[in-house]
Chains A and B, each alone.
Chain A
């Protein structure tokens, strides 16, 4: 071959060009008379809500094959940033929008939104199966986890608590779960003792607790559910007795205070201007329970479902 470099590059360029001349990129929204929608929908945000959003998106795209829906996992903060820059139509969030930092950005860019609760989530406290702790009060949790805590053995927390060298695991300091736990148990966001092992990935936390005989940690409920046979679940006493987290107790709020709502924020402009977005959001609310079950997330109660439907403009 006399001119190998040129040949390879030309080949590449041709192949590239052929594939690049694809069909439409789906940015123009439209709605058929027959009811099937088309167009693009951009969803992004919390990785906790992601399984739910994915289940809903999959179902919706199944019914409307011409819609091009994408769901990202940039995190609640990253999601709001893109949402308030007008780049996404829907953002998933494991916490409400931050009044101080994020709302001003949305206002600056004229992004108005509608907030919808789509599911519930709970944080489970678990320990290694060898560390048999049955129940802890919120006071004991605070004593264990707050930033000035000097507890070095679990038995220091109270009578009847099993003994063991304190070895703690928890979500990373940048995660919504961390924020929620520290604010709810210790009183302030970010108020925590320093000597715990954080990880971004809850699966890794499961492994950490499993591998450490005196390990204790907290993470999202679905991660406990999938590993229930390898972990010891600790009930939480929020003032009305020891309650174990479960679908039912998280939904009706009896597992307190470690239950929290999960949200989707929709851009009003997209709701009004893009029929496919409106269709999607209605689909989400109509199928919220089923999607949550597929995603192994705690679904809305009937009352919450009614409230969600009421928030939306008419179909």
Chain B
């Protein structure tokens, strides 16, 4: 009898039998408690966010105006604005996105599709990437100063140098999430393509990558979110705090919103604190807009297998 009963040997079968008995009611109770627990846990994160945003918004909102967005920093709080910081941040994000998407996805593809995991050097690459994710961003600042601003690349204190340094900070995140996204696609999808005569790259490009876009988009969102708020590496790389002009090219000096926020927060004058709060609100709005693009991509391609 048990040979014919397919569920007999699995742990689920035991539960199935239990639910049919008097234990059914207690399982139902546990189910409800579980959902309640999940809702509580989910809400806590959202509540903290709400507290943070409300606290900041109250201070910052009144200060946001067209003038604020189109003025440059100033020693006079009434005149100060964030135009150069805002444009600088947008430039940096453009550089970061342009670098991490191809580089991150390419590395993830290499590790998932082309690398022989038994070879020791591929394992080194893997461990290395996860390690890089833990390196404090200020160490990347040191690296950026030594090799990108000075040293072999010698780009100087420019937007490109700042963008490249920030890209290094978030690259590991993109790689790890892209790998997980690629890994999560059932192998049958790719194997089907190969069986129909595709080359490996065709199978990847036409089937595997589109299927992993949602996960990759998550990684890119998380990375840009992180990069947009990074202060320490930019200071080391030479981003200034007072810049009264917009970047004129990749090789221009620049400033960024988190630098401006940090500078204003540390000023003794009370009015600058309110300006800092306003700048934070603007930063979050930019973040929402950046995220919206990536989220649209993700929702469009989200599939359940």
Interface residues of A in 9-35 (CB under 8 A from B): 9, 12-13, 15-16, 19-26
Residues from chain A with a CB closer than 8 A to the CB of B297 are 4, 8
Residues from chain A with a CB closer than 8 A to the CB of B157 are 42, 87
Residues from chain B with a CB closer than 8 A to the CB of A85 are 150
- B303: Cβ under 8 A from any A Cβ: no
Partner of A73, one of B241, B249, B300: B241
Beyond A20-B250, A70-B240, whether A203 also contacts B213 by CB under 8 A is no
Residues from chain B with a CB closer than 8 A to the CB of A53 are 242
Interface string of A122-136 (1 = CB under 8 A from B): 000000000000000
Q: Is A68 in contact with B253, judged by CB distance below 8 angstroms?
A: yes
**Which of A208-216, A219-227, A235-243, A307-315 lies on the face that meets chain B?**
A219-227
Q: Is A54 in contact with B268, judged by CB distance below 8 angstroms?
A: no
Interface of B is mostly: loop
Q: Is B252 in contact with A22, judged by CB distance below 8 angstroms?
A: yes
Partner of A51, one of B75, B98, B253: B75
Residues from chain A with a CB closer than 8 A to the CB of B253 are 40, 42, 68, 70
Number of interface residues, chain B, beta carbon within 8 A:
44
Q: Is B268 in contact with A202, judged by CB distance below 8 angstroms?
A: yes
Interface residues of A in 42-82 (CB under 8 A from B): 42-44, 47, 50-51, 53-55, 57-58, 61, 68-74, 78, 82
A23 to B247, CA, bound (A): 9
Interface string of B100-120 (1 = CB under 8 A from A): 011000000000000000000
Nearest Cβ on chain B to A284's Cβ, whole angstroms: 13
Nearest Cβ on chain B to A230's Cβ, whole angstroms: 11
- B219: Cβ under 8 A from any A Cβ: no
- A195: Cβ under 8 A from any B Cβ: no
Nearest Cβ on chain B to A131's Cβ, whole angstroms: 22
Q: Is B266 in contact with A201, judged by CB distance below 8 angstroms?
A: yes
- B235: Cβ under 8 A from any A Cβ: yes
5 further contact pairs, Cβ within 8 A, besides A4-B210, A15-B94, A73-B235: A9-B101, A23-B248, A72-B239, A87-B238, A201-B265
